[in-house]
Amino acid sequence: MAALTDALAQADQNRAGALDRLFALLRMPSISTDPAYDGACRDTADWLVAELTSLGFRAERRDTPGKPMVVAHADGPTGAPHVLFYGHYDVQPVDPLDLWHSDPFDPQLQDGPRGQVIRARGASDDKGQLMTFVEACRAWREASGDLPIRISILFEGEEESGSPSLVPFMQENAEELRADLALICDTGMWNADTPSICTMLRGMVADEVIVKAANRDLHSGGYGGPAANPIRVLSQILASLHDEAGRVTLPGFYDGVRDVPDDLAAQWDTLGFDAEAFLGAVGLSHPAGEDGIPPLHQLWARPTCEFNGIAGGYAGDGFKTVLPAEARAKISCRLVWDQDPHAIREALHARVREMLPPDCEVEFISHGADRASVMSTDAPAFEAARRALAEEWPNEAVFTGGGGSIPIAGHFKQVLGMDSMLIGFALGDDAIHSPNEKYDLRSFEGGVRSWVRVIDALARTS
């Protein structure tokens, strides 16, 4: 325990320097979606390489057809666990700029609702998060001269623009990147006092359905009645996808869906999730999902089929009496447990085709199909990390789920064959992707100390 105590003390001693280094990283406008910032992305990758090299890592910038990857390795004691830490250095665009209260690439320390906050684009997503781990490695190096585990690092520069280079890079470098466990710092805490380890992420099937009929828009007075109306056809199809209890009606849709284990459900019960307040914050009041399923379970452990956009005919000012030549809808299914995204896509396409009347045809545009990621919390590393986090924060750490999708966790499993542990220190009011993004100073400093503890805990699982 003396080594851990020394590393924690070193992390505290490094606080001012750690903040300076984070601010230097935040000043770099590494916007991956805009080619105008390609140079800034390369500069950011080079900055990270230099930082990691200074900490004794064998670090390199690896160029790809898109933005560079940063790859680094540091040896640990013989027989120690090997982890791969992932983060991304690219950030979202800053628009609308006029809603920012300060320059998004001039980081500021400002007063916030729980103390001081770091205000800048990327402060929470994901530069502040990835630097918590880098600074934890620094604390270990400076306190004891070495790391207690073997660490590899992968920093990506295209996460905010769809990660087009990531999977090919992982496939080409699989042997180099493979480790015992992946660590991902791109998630959040349950609340400001309760750390969490996200162990479930929903997968997704996303499709666009386009129903076509006549070869042009038709006058509804001249053709209404005899002519097929794509909006009516599409509406009937969409309405067929749910029953009155909110369940999805596609054959086989629930194949692979499991009940939440009792011990995990018991943890979730302790979180005090207030569905009324959750919905009330966005002007709603009544849960609209599956009957009889608790709202938090709906968010984390149940699949959905949602309509994200629908269009057809005339939607401008005034009125135009037409039967449109086509109508389209964007449909996304969030998946859980062992659901097969390809089987669900096939079932969706089959439903549309079977309900298509004469004179209509359909076109499908697919926008991705990813399995859910479910980590085995029985692995010793998970409980060790949970106990380590509990030593740093006021409340015990909990295993949580995630309603969204973080594809990298699935890629690590599918390409590298390893599980991921998702630990992050973001909070719900960090305004990621929005103007005035922030990261609580307590999240940053507590995150550094948390990773110091988790690294020590993982070393003890060997």
Query: Can you give the pLDDT at residue 449?
Result: 98
pLDDT of 462 strictly over 80: no
pLDDT tens profile 450-459: 999 999 999 9
What confidence tens digit (pLDDT) does each residue in 142-180 have?
999 999 999 999 999 999 998 999 999 999 999 999 999
Q: For the chain, give every residue range classified as CATH 3.30.70.360.
A: 203-257+303-370
64-96: per-residue pLDDT in tens?
Answer: 999 999 999 999 999 999 999 999 999 999 999
**What pLDDT, in 10s, does the model give residues 214-236?**
999 999 999 999 999 999 999 99
pLDDT digits (tens, 9 = 90+) for 34-67: 999 999 999 999 999 999 999 999 999 999 999 9
Cα–Cα nearest to 326, from 225, 208, 222: 208
Query: Using the 8-state DSSP alphabet, how is residue 35 labeled?
Result: G
Query: Which residues does residue 117 pair with via DSSP β-bridges, in sequence order?
Result: 110, 440
**Chain region(s) in the chain for CATH 3.40.630.10:** 2-201+372-459
The per-residue pLDDT for range 232-278, each reduced to its tens digit, is 999 999 999 999 999 999 999 999 999 999 999 999 999 999 999 99
User: Quick one: pLDDT band at residue 370, thresholds 50, 70, 90?
Assistant: confident
Summarize pLDDT for 103-133 with one digit per residue, the tens: 999 999 999 989 999 999 999 999 999 999 9
The predicted pLDDT at position 112 comes to 92
* Domain 2-201+372-459, architecture per CATH: 3-Layer(aba) Sandwich (3.40)
Residue 275 has a pLDDT of 94
Coil, helix or strand at residue 434: coil
Q: Looking at beta carbons, which pairs linking 379-382 to residues 24 or more positions away fall under 8 Å?
A: 379/181, 379/419, 380/461, 381/81, 381/181, 381/421, 381/458, 381/461, 382/197, 382/199, 382/421
Identify the band that residue 1 occupies on the pLDDT scale cut at 50, 70 and 90.
confident
Q: Return the CATH fold of 203-257+303-370.
A: Alpha-Beta Plaits (3.30.70)
What is the model's pTM?
A: 0.87
Confidence grade of residue 407 (pLDDT, cut at 50, 70, 90) = confident
